[in-house]
Structure 1
Amino acid sequence: MSKLFNVAVVGATGAVGNQMLEVLAERNFPVKELRLLASERSEGKFLEFKGEQLVVQKLGRDSFKDIDIALFSAGGSRSEEFCPIAAASGAVCVDNSSAWRMDPDVPLVVPEVNPADVALHTNKGIIANPNCSTIQMMVALKPLHDYAKIKRIVVSTYQAVSGTGLNAIDELRVQSGELLNGRPAECKVYPHQIAFNCLPHIDVFLDNGYTKEEMKMVNETQKILGDESLRVTATTVRVPVFYSHSEAVNIETEKPLSAAKARELLAAAPGVKVVDDVANLVYPTAIDAAGQDLTYVGRIREDESIDNGLNLWVVADNLRKGAATNAVQIAELLAAKYL
């Protein structure tokens, strides 16, 4: 019989935590015991896993006894506090927050891009899940980078409200209903109305005028590809979409890379689906990607304003490939090769 693993999901009642349970079940991860952990507000709730009702336990210092893999999606402060505790108990942590991403001793992994970095989990017992918008961009760009070496990336994102959490999903739903019925929209989660609007503001603004989300994409891209000389600039925008992030990506490469060659490379790339037939109005949309694990790429065309430039439109479900699925794929690599 193949080996089974004791798995903890920290933040199990949140939007990503719920998706982690679904993905573990869908991919038939070899679970022996599944331990659901959350704050005291959720203690005693029940969540379903493979037809069984499991009780949610309060996260504490003694929560990780006999756990092999701990999937974290409980926010940065909880991860900073409890990942070292879980690691000291013998678990390998796969953390979805930004807490450990830029730690030089913690690997930042997208399984389709840098799977060998999972071996570095021995440094601290922690593997970081990249930012959702970074993950889908890396899946799409890695085969192009391997072929033509990308020198510069300019990316604009169109990010769904589910990236903020369950309260933001409710805010978009309620605001839309109120406005369609002639009533004013109340803003609780976002500083401005999100329904029927776009906000060029994700996370806090930094001294350089960029948001923290934008700088995450810059720094994480360089770390994942192992190339600090790679130039990256980003503008991240919250849009009134429930699920799936979309990105307009412009790259400049050292070698010539035609649109036709890019389609060929992407069609053969793991985790990618090319959806690019503009003659028949076929291209990826957020609705197409929702609930899916693939990264969809379309609108592939050469940038006529520069030499060796290419434009792409990249779409993926931010809760699945952008978070839960990527984390479970890392857990699968751990289970297959390292534990």
Structure 2
Amino acid sequence: MGYRVAVAGATGNVGREMLNILAEREFPADEVVALASRKSLGTEVSYGDKTLKTKDLDTFDFGGTDIALFAIGSGPTKEYAPKAARAGAVVIDNSSLYRYEPDIPLIVPECNPDSVEMFKNRNIIANPNCSTAQMVVALKPLHDRARIKRVVVSTYQSVSGAGKDAMDELWTQTKGLYVPGQEVEPAKFTKQIAFNVIPHIDVFMEDGSTKEEWKMVVETKKIIDPKIRVHATCVRVPVFVGHSESVNVEFEEPLDEDEAREILREAPGLMLVDKREPGGYVTPVECVGEFATYISRLRTDPTVENGLSFWCVSDNLRKGAALNAVQIAELVGRRCLKKG
């Protein structure tokens, strides 16, 4: 006997990817329901070989639903997630709404699976920010071996992290630059994104960092270890899908690059592609549609004691959002929900 699963936000980038991954990983669902806002009511979405018609999130009865995957943003989530949780569904939320609440678990299954039991507090589990998710998958096995003191990360984040309108803006702006008189002014972004990079994601905070950078700091501490110091610079780049990160790590204990390479090669969720030759590394284009987080350019940082640096690439719509949510659902099913 399988589960009844609801996907809220099924017509969006992440919601569609959730449906794809549920089908690809053969999640044991007897029924999958696609939910969307009233304006998208009846829109058809793919679920494996099946086509689902979206139902109205506003009137949907979550009674009898085992797991509800939410990809609708913080505003609607604040209204509908408690409703689903009260009806008995385990809510796995992709927004930032619940990530920083102490009684709600923030889960990356490769890193802190035992924390999933905390969902019983409020029947809600938070999915981390896309830039955090891929980084902590790489950091956790290294932390277990040598204890991380400090992380300095610079991100190169694709426009899909800002939604469909952002992807459209990159596309139309790029085309417009080639046709005089058809230039497209920035709307979703603060500056031109085509053939450019923008060191600004989310709002600025009092200390000069952006909220995206703050998220990486706070979430890494909550998922792995509150003692880790993190400094992030988050940059939007003209890439459609796939986030990249340059990560510099300082450890408490010695860890040479050869041992680190072996640890990463064996760690769950990671793929090490690290040849010191032209093309011996992974770029965002190559990670699209893949489940793994890829690690390349691993090397010693001689400027600090016990330092390493590496390049980290992942499909942000997958591990950064939809895949991690489905992995959480799998974890909940194995550990917490009894069927049949």
- Same fold by TM-score, threshold 0.5 exceeded? yes
> 2:303 — aligned with what?
305
Aligned-residue offset at 1:190: 0.9
Amino acid of the structure 2 residue aligned with 1:217: M
Measure, in 1, the Cα distance between the counterparts of 2:178 and 2:191.
17
> 1:20 — aligned with what?
18
1:151-166 pair list within 5 angstroms: 151-166=149-164
Verify: 1:203 aligned to 2:207, yes or no. Answer: no
Instruction: Return the TM-score normalized by structure 1.
Output: 0.97
Measure, in 1, the Cα distance between the counterparts of 2:240 and 2:297.
22
Structure 1 residues 62 and 281: CA distance shift in structure 2, 3 A: closer
Aligned-residue offset at 1:117: 1.1
Measure, in 2, the Cα distance between the counterparts of 1:27 and 1:192.
39
Measure, in 2, the Cα distance between the counterparts of 1:4 and 1:33.
8
Aligned-residue offset at 1:229: 2.0
> 1:330 — aligned with what?
328
Aligned pair partner of 1:173 in 168, 171, 180: 171
Aligned-residue offset at 1:61: 5.5
Aligned-residue offset at 1:184: 2.2
Q: Cα deviation per residue 1:89-139 (whole Å; 9 max; x = unaligned)?
A: 000000000000011010000011111111111011001000011000000
> 2:256 — aligned with what?
258
Aligned-residue offset at 1:181: 2.8
Measure, in 2, the Cα distance between the counterparts of 1:178 and 1:43.
33
Aligned pair partner of 1:32 in 30, 33, 38: 30
Aligned-residue offset at 1:8: 0.5
Aligned-residue offset at 1:49: 1.6
Percent same amino acid among aligned pairs?
53
Contact 1:155 / 1:233 at 8 angstroms: preserved in 2? yes
What is the RMSD of the two structures over their aligned residues, measured on CA atoms? 1.0
Contact 1:10 / 1:36 at 8 angstroms: preserved in 2? yes
Amino acid of the structure 1 residue aligned with 2:88: G
Contact 1:61 / 1:85 at 8 angstroms: preserved in 2? no
> 2:245 — aligned with what?
247
> 2:68 — aligned with what?
70
- Specify the SS of the correspondent of 2:39: coil
- Specify the SS of the correspondent of 1:312: strand
Amino acid of the structure 1 residue aligned with 2:204: F
Contact 1:7 / 1:31 at 8 angstroms: preserved in 2? yes
Measure, in 2, the Cα distance between the counterparts of 1:6 and 1:187.
42
> 1:294 — aligned with what?
292
Aligned-residue offset at 1:180: 2.4
Q: Tell me the number of residue pairs that the alignment of Structure 1 and Structure 2 aligns.
A: 336
Measure, in 2, the Cα distance between the counterparts of 1:61 and 1:258.
57
Gaps of 5+ in 1: none
> 1:190 — aligned with what?
189
Aligned-residue offset at 1:231: 0.6
Measure, in 2, the Cα distance between the counterparts of 1:309 and 1:69.
42
Gaps of 5+ in 2: none
- Specify the SS of the correspondent of 1:204: coil
- Specify the SS of the correspondent of 1:297: strand
Amino acid of the structure 2 residue aligned with 1:189: K
> 1:128 — aligned with what?
126
Measure, in 2, the Cα distance between the counterparts of 1:117 and 1:216.
19
Measure, in 2, the Cα distance between the counterparts of 1:124 and 1:100.
11
Q: Cα deviation per residue 1:176-225 (whole Å; 9 max; x = unaligned)?
A: 11112344232221121100000001111111111110000000000001
Measure, in 2, the Cα distance between the counterparts of 1:314 and 1:170.
26
Aligned pair partner of 1:144 in 133, 142, 147: 142
Amino acid of the structure 1 residue aligned with 2:67: I
Instruction: Return the TM-score normalized by structure 2.
Output: 0.97
Q: Cα deviation per residue 1:14-46 (whole Å; 9 max; x = unaligned)?
A: 000010010000000011111111111101111
